[in-house]
Amino acid sequence: MDDKDHISESGALGLASRIRRLLERLLRDGKRVYQMAGMEFEVRWFAVFHLLTRRSPLSITEIADALGQRHPTVIQMVEEMIQRGLVRSARDVADGRRRQIGLTAEGRKVARRLQPIWHAFDEAGRELLSEGGNNFLASLEKVESAIGRRSMLERIHAKLHDGTGAESHD
C-alpha cells in the first residue's frame, strides 16, 4: 500500500473502510469477469443463486437464515433473478403464506455455464489468500463469531462509557 494511504494509516479505526474498499475491488473485478464471459449475472446474486444450485427449492426465510442476510435483501435479489428468468417462485403447498424459490430450466443452464467461472474464482481466491500469508478465512470466521457474540455497537458503547473512550475526557 502507498505510504500516503490514509485509510491504511488509520489502523483499526479504518477497519470498515478497508473492508469496504477491498469488497468494492473484488466486486468490480467479479462483475468484469462475468461480462467478459458474456454472462448476464450480477455479482450480488452469487450467494443466493449458488445456494439454490445446492439446495432448492427454499423459502425466503431459509435462504436468509442460510446466508445470514436480511429478508428484504434476499427478496430483492430473488425478484431480480425472477425477472431474468433464473429462478421461480411458487406458493408452498403446506403453507400458502410461504413462497418456495427454485431454479428454472434457464437457471440450471446458467448454473452449468457458471461452474468453470466459479472454479476459477475459487482458485484465484485461494491464490490471493495464500499471498496474504496468514489464514485469512479462519481469522475472518473468528471475527464474525466475535461480532455475533458482541456487536461493534456494543463494544464502542462500552468504550465510551467505561472511561476508555473519547467521551471520557472529564
Q: What one-character DSSP code corresponds to residue 10?
A: T
Q: Which pLDDT belongs to residue 56?
A: 87
CA distance 32 to 170: 52
DSSP string, 120-149: HHHHHHHHHHHHH-S-HHHHHHHHHHHHHH
Q: Domain locations in the chain?
A: 1-36, 41-133, 134-170
- With residue 88 as reference, give the H or E element that holds it: strand 87-91
CA distance 167 to 13: 16
* Phi, psi of 41, rounded to the nearest 5 degrees: -135, 130
CA distance 95 to 99: 8
Q: Which pLDDT belongs to residue 95?
A: 76
- List the pLDDT tens digit at each of the 170 positions of the chain: 455 688 777 777 878 888 899 899 999 999 999 999 999 999 999 999 999 999 989 999 999 999 999 999 999 999 999 999 999 999 877 777 788 999 999 999 999 999 999 999 999 988 888 887 778 778 888 888 898 899 888 988 898 888 665 544 44
CA distance 116 to 63: 24
Q: Which pLDDT belongs to residue 151?
A: 86
Q: Which pLDDT belongs to residue 92?
A: 74
Fold of the 41-133 domain = Arc Repressor Mutant, subunit A (1.10.10)
What's the whole-model pTM score?
0.79
Coil, strand or helix at 91? strand
CA distance 97 to 100: 10
